[in-house]
Amino acid sequence: MASSANMLPEKQFQCTICQQVFTDPVTTPCGHNFCQVCIQNTWNSSDVCQCPTCNKSFTPRPEISINTAFKELSDTFRNIIVCSSASLLSTAKPGEVVCDVCATTSLQVKALKSCLVCLTSYCEAHLEPHRRVATLKLHKLIEPAKNLQDRMCKKHERLLEMFCRDEQKCVCRFCTETEHKGHGAVTIEDESAGRKVQMKETKEDFQQMIQERLKKMEEIKNCLKHSTMSAEKEMKESDRLFASLIRSIEERQTEARTEIDRKQKAAETRSKELIDELQAEIAELQRRNAEMEELRNTEDHLHLLQRSPSLMSPPPTKEWMEISVHPELIVGTARKALSKVDDTVKNELDRLKTEEMKKMQKYAVDVVLDPDTAHPNIVLSLDGKQAGRGELLHIVPDNPQRFDPVICVVGKRGFLSGRFFFQVAVGTKTFWDLGVVKESVNRKGMITSKPENGYWTVRLRSGDEYRALDSPSVLLTLKEKPQIVGVFTDYEEGTVSFFNLEARSHIYTFTGCLFTERIFPFFSPGVLDDGKNTAPLVITAVNHDS
């Protein structure tokens, strides 16, 4: 301030009445300067009109006007003083609102408040008039804000201080009297207060949603961890089972090779013995042939008659036509060994099927039928575990979830992920449908059950026609009629499988299912079939020990 003071002495710009830099300076006829308000207040409070500096009296009271040239100098000097003080305040950091007045002097001073009337941001020093001058005290101050022009109505150049609830936008008061006339309008303060309450409630909802998702995320992580452990355990068990199976096959193979080798050696020994006997008999026969040939050429008739009887009678031999080596005995041994392997494999496969069934049943869920979805002809048990076919329509509320006219019902609980299993006693029913459906399936009018329409089901018709309603549908040939049907769904893998639980046999599996929404267990007890199909479908509990 020293250099500034050398050029512009402070006293030259100081009112002797208020001891402050001139505000709207005026000059008396005697040449002295005062604030307009200060000199008028002084003269209004006295009977004598005189100069406070030289005491010269004026009669009548002189008319005085603002000295515009001196006012500009005073205002400049005031800004120099204020900006010099402001430079001592905190410098605005990147992103903070700066004082618009200081900015004209290239100073980046942090703003303390923004005025919605002046549309200007002020630092602490430049905000001082708004705290002192009566008219400026009426201005509306807010926390420092950028882009104050955005707070003005573009059409009427007035402050946006009202909120139109009909069109959900901020407007000026003139807007509420013109294009927004008759609309529900409140002050932005009132609307903001209401929004803050809503935001508090929404924040609480978001916090709850965050907690739910954190919980679900932890659940998924635990499921993945459990899945990884199960996969490792399953791989070890698979390696053990197949190693056992291979070892059993190798043992049977060794036994078969040993037995075949033993029998082959026995056959070789027997063949050698038989060949030796045959060779001995051949030698004897050849000897007799040679001796008889010699006798035929002899002239010794007595010798011929004495030797010929013993030579002409056949030597003792075996009935060779009845003797043979049977190679099929060796083949039979191999087949017996293979049969033992087949039995081992069958036993292992049966054991594997039993274990797989138990693993599948670990994903059993508690299915309860939803009465709001049941066709009016369906009779549900009080516990929601049975769905039978009634003869008369029940009076029930019509709602979008209810199946009509197709006689169906779904479970209350749907599934968006994971695996789930349920089992249904179908007994001796002659008609039924079972499976899963997506939540958005058409429930009104006729239904075409196929995967494209969101249905993955198996059905029975006329007591013996089983069909998987795939695309196209598949006629199923079952060795045994299932009494209890198990339905297993793997959401991520995209499969729905059906099993005959009593026979522990597979019925059908839908593969490549693209699940994108919640899916529900699905049931249809079918038509009455002349009284042969009155029994209900019964959702049964899973016996994990079976």
Task: Return the SS3 of 137.
Answer: helix
Cα–Cα nearest to 331, from 249, 267, 250? 267
Eight-class DSSP state of 465: E
- What confidence tier does 306 reach under pLDDT thresholds 50, 70, 90? confident
Question: Residue 311: pLDDT above 50?
Answer: yes
Question: Residue 67: pLDDT above 70?
Answer: yes
- What confidence tier does 5 reach under pLDDT thresholds 50, 70, 90? very low
Question: Residue 86: pLDDT above 90?
Answer: no
DSSP for 352-401, written as a single string: HHHHHHHHHHTTB----B-GGGS-TTEEE-TTS-EEEE-SS-------TT
Higher per-residue pLDDT: 363 or 4:
363
Segment among 143-147, 331-335, 382-386, 463-467 with least mean pLDDT: 331-335
pLDDT at 478: 93
Model pLDDT for residues 13-33, shown as the tens digit of each residue? 888 888 888 888 999 999 899
Highest mean pLDDT among 75-79, 486-490, 540-544: 486-490
pLDDT at 465: 96
pLDDT at 340: 64
User: Are 373 and 443 in contact, with CB atoms under 8 Å apart?
Assistant: yes
What number of CA atoms fall less than 13 Å from residue 498's CA on the CB side? 28
Model pLDDT for residues 168-182, shown as the tens digit of each residue? 999 998 999 999 999
- What average pLDDT does the segment 326-337 reach? 56
Task: Return the SS3 of 152.
Answer: strand
Model pLDDT for residues 217-259, shown as the tens digit of each residue? 887 888 778 778 877 877 887 788 778 778 877 887 888 788 8
- What confidence tier does 428 reach under pLDDT thresholds 50, 70, 90? very high
| CATH homologous superfamily for the domain 371-540 | SPRY domain (2.60.120.920)
pLDDT at 335: 60
pLDDT at 325: 57
The one-letter amino acid code at 444 reads K
Highest mean pLDDT among 33-47, 133-147, 376-390: 376-390
Question: Domain segments of the chain: what residues?
Answer: 11-83, 206-322, 371-540
- What confidence tier does 334 reach under pLDDT thresholds 50, 70, 90? low
Model pLDDT for residues 342-377, shown as the tens digit of each residue? 666 666 666 666 777 888 888 999 999 999 999 999
DSSP for 203-250, written as a single string: HHHHHHHHHHHHHHHHHHHHHHHHHHHHHHHHHHHHHHHHHHHHHHHH
Distance CA 33, CA 22 (A): 8
Average of per-residue pLDDT values in the chain = 85
pLDDT at 1: 37
**Percent of the chain, pLDDT > 90?**
36
Token pair, residue 21, equals 């830099």
pLDDT at 93: 84
* Segment holding 113, helix H or strand E: strand 113-115
User: Are 36 and 1 in contact, with CB atoms under 8 Å apart?
Assistant: no
Model pLDDT for residues 429-477, shown as the tens digit of each residue? 999 999 999 999 999 988 899 999 999 999 999 999 999 999 999 999 9
Highest mean pLDDT among 302-311, 350-359, 517-526: 517-526
**Reading across the β-sheet that carries 432-438, which strands appear in turn?**
409-410, 519-524, 432-438, 455-461, 465-468, 474-476
DSSP for 171-209, written as a single string: E-HHHHHTTTTTS-EEEHHHHHHHHHHHHHHHHHHHHHH
Higher per-residue pLDDT: 543 or 90:
543
Cα–Cα nearest to 489, from 437, 424, 441? 437
CATH of 11-83, one of 3.30.479.30, 3.20.20.210, 3.30.1330.30, 3.30.40.10: 3.30.40.10
Question: Residue 199: pLDDT above 90?
Answer: no
pLDDT at 316: 77
Report the DSSP pairing between strands 113-115 and 120-122.
antiparallel
